[in-house]
Amino acid sequence: MKRLMTAAALLTALTAATASAQFSTVTTQRTIQSSRPVELGLTAGYASGLSGEVFVHAPNVAGPIGVKLSAAYTSPGDSIRDDVSINPTLGLGTFGSYKAQGLASEGGSHVVVGLDGTYSLGEVTPGISVLGYAGGRYGMFKATETYANDAALSNTYSTSAFGVGVGAQLSYALAGNMSLVGDLGVDHFFNSAINISGGANDTYNTGEAGYNDLRSRLAFPGTVFKAKLGLKLSNY
């Protein structure tokens, strides 16, 4: 009888130990999964004009592969091309000639959202890490031309275009979870419909008569090279 009681006690203890070990393993796995680092970054530099960008990066989602979401705003250095005639059909001068006389001004903006897959090369030298990235882009571009004495010629042009991009980020550890980050890359955007509002209200689709003439006047991005520098915080 005593042997039976002892055996039962041992079996109970063994079952409890096994359950405890299983619970500990599951808890550890959940802790590891929930503690995957997330990086937050802010960079500024040049991308067809002065540009600022914020990004969220989840590295090592599957081994060295991660995911990065970014949003950038650029104040372009040029929105309306100076060397193209305002209206070739009417034989009007170039936009640059009107600007030179103080009769015209321009403005614009570029907003780009990106979703990239990343690949970490790890630490290539003490304190310096490198990752490559590639993915899709969605750009929202706007250009405005204003004429002092002719409201009919003053228009705002806008387009939304899909694109692709590749690049590389170099990170240098500063202190704690903060790093200095440099970003070099190139994006390419595909032509899309151009909307006109202001003195004229119209839409030109790709392939439509007059599209190429209008597109040639606008400094909307085609291929964009970017170089930016900033900071990122890790382990969120």
Closest CA to 143 of 225, 78, 52, 214: 78
Burial of 44 (0-12, 13-18, 19+ CB in 10 A): middle
pLDDT digits (tens, 9 = 90+) for 197-213: 988 889 999 999 989 98
Residues 107, 145: one domain? yes
| pLDDT score recorded for residue 200 | 83
Closest CA to 182 of 71, 45, 39: 45
| pLDDT score recorded for residue 129 | 94
Residues 74, 143: one domain? yes
Residues 58, 145: one domain? yes
Residues 140, 123: one domain? yes
Residues 42, 69: one domain? yes
For residue 164, give every residue at least 6 positions away whose Cβ sits within 8 Å of its Cβ, in sequence order, or none.
134, 135, 136, 137, 187, 188
Least reliable range by pLDDT among 29-38, 157-166, 222-231: 29-38
Residues 91, 29: one domain? no
Residues 55, 158: one domain? yes
* Domain of 15, in residue numbers: 1-35
Residues 24, 83: one domain? no
Residues 211, 139: one domain? yes
Of residues 153 and 118, more confidently modeled:
118
Radius of gyration of the chain (CA): 28
Report the domain count for the chain.
2
CATH number for the domain harbouring residue 194: 2.40.160.70
Closest CA to 96 of 215, 217, 4, 188: 217
Residues 191, 98: one domain? yes
| pLDDT score recorded for residue 148 | 85
- Does this model's pTM top 0.85? no
As a whole number of angstroms, the distance between CA 76 and CA 156 comes to: 15
| pLDDT score recorded for residue 10 | 39
| pLDDT score recorded for residue 86 | 79
As a whole number of angstroms, the distance between CA 201 and CA 220 comes to: 19
